[in-house]
Amino acid sequence: MTAEAGAPALVRAAAPEVDLFAEEFAADPFPVFARLRDTAPVHHDPATGLWLVSRDEDVRRVLLDTVTYRNDNTLRSVVPLRLPALRIMDRVGFKTLPPALFNNSGDSHPALRAIVLRLLSAQQVRLATPRIERITAEELDVMAADLRTTGRHDLARGAARTVPVRVMLDLLGLTGLARVDVHTVADWTDAFITLFWGRTEKDRQRELAHQVAAFYTWLCELAEIRDAPEDSLLAALARQRTPDGGPLSREVAVAVCSNLLVAGHVTTTQMITTAAHRALESRVHWPELAGDPTAAGRWLEEILRREPSLTAWRRVTSRETRLGGIDLPAGAELLLMLSSAGNDPEAHPAPERLCPMRDAGHRHLGFGLGRHRCPGAELARVEGRVFLSACADRFPGLRPASPEPPPFLRLVSFRAPARLDVADPHPHREGHHETR
């Protein structure tokens, strides 16, 4: 039975039309989420072949049942890539990423995850907090200079982007080994998510494929380093053994590094950018964040509920099952709509309201749930709290540079402002002290 055939005609007819790549959907997906939850909580999307799962209860059920719902499909391209793009990546040996962290339901997953959990543990993040604060201050210096010289700064491609990349390279012990600048790494990871989670034209696919190929080549070079620091990710991967006792392949080491750099940069940057956008938009919440990491943390939790940067994630059924009243065949590809779950009134009363004091607290799916919950959740939270409280403290008069809403990324699993131009009417205000 195909996925198309498995969708009852009555449910499909009642469901709204969904274009996951549409500009209108990216700008305001919440009405579509509501109609899906009400009319077709498990809805087949013929354009992508994905089953859209929109209710909080169903999404949680899938995330917690790792036997029926596997994560083997999470890193496949949503839209089939064209032959020219595939050839570009094939020339550097990149065909697909083997099972590592985010696409691994096999026996090797626990050991690989354990490496990451040790590197990004709560204790390690606490020890790294002074470095995170220093990196943030340095990037806010750059932002201050930008505001003085040009009158504006694009947070999405500026400070909110460079801080997570620098922090991730630092915590993984790659800073001295990177041999490329931070903006290049950020460009590569942005290209990666655009190619695999976007819908792009042939010429654009070729451009992205060249960047992804360069990213993959760089990762392969890193994986070949034999004198990496003992506390680095590369050294930990070199020490790791497979279930049969052999060393990890270069391809698996590359996949782990890729997973962490993409997730560590992309989702954290987008979380910070969205949180800053909504706080500045309200004109009320921005001053409340100034110098107060606790207030910034509460604001982040609400943003992670309402507008998580990882808006949706994929699973594939290992057997026939029933979900949300719909019979699904084995091999059905699901899109778990985490953002819709966070706006489900059955789980979150008055979900349209941004309420930092909401009783639900951390009870959202912004970092997933269960066995595959994001291992970098604590790091992302600390980065967000440090950045927002420091930025609001240093730039209390910051405001959107334009009354027009910013454009949003049009990707299946990621959503955030693609640009966030901000201005400061008082760039020389006392208290804006540079650290370098």
For residue 376, the domain's CATH number is: 1.10.630.10
- Say what percent of the chain tops pLDDT 70: 93
Burial track 329-341 (b if 16+ CB lie within 10 A, e otherwise): eeebbbbbbbbbb
When mean pLDDT is compared across 53-67, 100-114, 332-346, the lowest value belongs to 100-114
H or E, element range at 423: strand 421-423
Query: How many Å apart are CA 271 and CA 286, to the nearest integer?
Result: 15
Could you report the per-residue pLDDT of 354-396, keeping only the tens digit for each? 988 876 556 899 999 999 999 999 999 999 999 999 999 999 9
- Say what percent of the chain tops pLDDT 90: 81
Higher pLDDT, 435 or 405: 405
**φ, ψ for residue 85, nearest 5 deg:** -65, -40
- Is residue 202 situated within a structural domain? yes
- Is residue 18 situated within a structural domain? yes
**Residue 282 pLDDT > 90, yes or no?**
no
- Is residue 365 situated within a structural domain? yes
Which residue do the tokens 């995330």 mark?
A: 63
**What is the DSSP code string of 53-73?**
E--HHHHHHHHH-TTTEE-TT
H or E, element range at 273: helix 268-282
- The 10 Å Cβ neighbour count of residue 38 is 13
- Is residue 412 situated within a structural domain? yes
Residues in a beta bridge with 313: 336
Asked if 238 contacts 177 with a C-beta cutoff of 8 angstroms, the reply is no
- The 10 Å Cβ neighbour count of residue 120 is 23
- Is residue 4 situated within a structural domain? no
**Residue 193 pLDDT > 70, yes or no?**
yes
- Is residue 1 situated within a structural domain? no
Query: How many Å apart are CA 377 and CA 343, to the nearest integer?
Result: 20
* Nearest by Cα to 218 from 196, 234, 242: 234
Residue 231 pLDDT level (bands cut at 50, 70, 90):
confident
**Residue 326 pLDDT > 80, yes or no?**
yes
- Is residue 434 situated within a structural domain? no
Mean of pLDDT values over 140-148: 96
**Residue 8 pLDDT > 80, yes or no?**
no
Query: How many Å apart are CA 219 and CA 268, to the nearest integer?
Result: 21
Residue 3, pLDDT score: 43
**Residue 230 pLDDT > 90, yes or no?**
no
**φ, ψ for residue 295, nearest 5 deg:** -65, -40
Could you report the per-residue pLDDT of 152-178, keeping only the tens digit for each? 999 999 999 999 999 999 988 888 777
Residue 428, pLDDT score: 58
Residue 137, pLDDT score: 97
**Residue 348 pLDDT > 70, yes or no?**
yes
Structure-block tokens of residue 401: 């540079």
Residue range(s) defining the domain that contains residue 70: 9-423
Helix, coil or strand: residue 2: coil
- Is residue 154 situated within a structural domain? yes
Could you report the per-residue pLDDT of 292-324, keeping only the tens digit for each? 999 999 999 999 999 999 999 999 999 999 999
Higher pLDDT, 175 or 139: 139
Mean of pLDDT values over 54-58: 98
**What is the DSSP code string of 150-217?**
HS-EEGGGTHHHHHHHHHHHHHTT-GGG--S-HHHHHHHHHHHHHHHHS---HHHHHHHHHHHHHHHH
* Nearest-10 Cα torsion for 391, 395, 399, 405: -20
Strands of 261-373, DSSP E: 312-317, 321-323, 326-328, 333-337
Query: How many Å apart are CA 248 and CA 238, to the nearest integer?
Result: 7
Residue 26, pLDDT score: 96
Q: Across the beta sheet with 421-423, what order do the strands follow? A: 153-154, 421-423, 399-400
Mean pLDDT score of the chain: 91
Query: How many Å apart are CA 400 and CA 409, to the nearest integer?
Result: 18
Residues in a beta bridge with 316: 70, 333
Higher pLDDT, 289 or 431: 289
Query: How many Å apart are CA 100 and CA 310, to the nearest integer?
Result: 19
Residue 178, pLDDT score: 72
Residue 361, pLDDT score: 56
Domain total for the chain? 1
**Residue 133 pLDDT > 70, yes or no?**
yes
To the question of pTM greater than 0.85 for the whole model, the response is yes
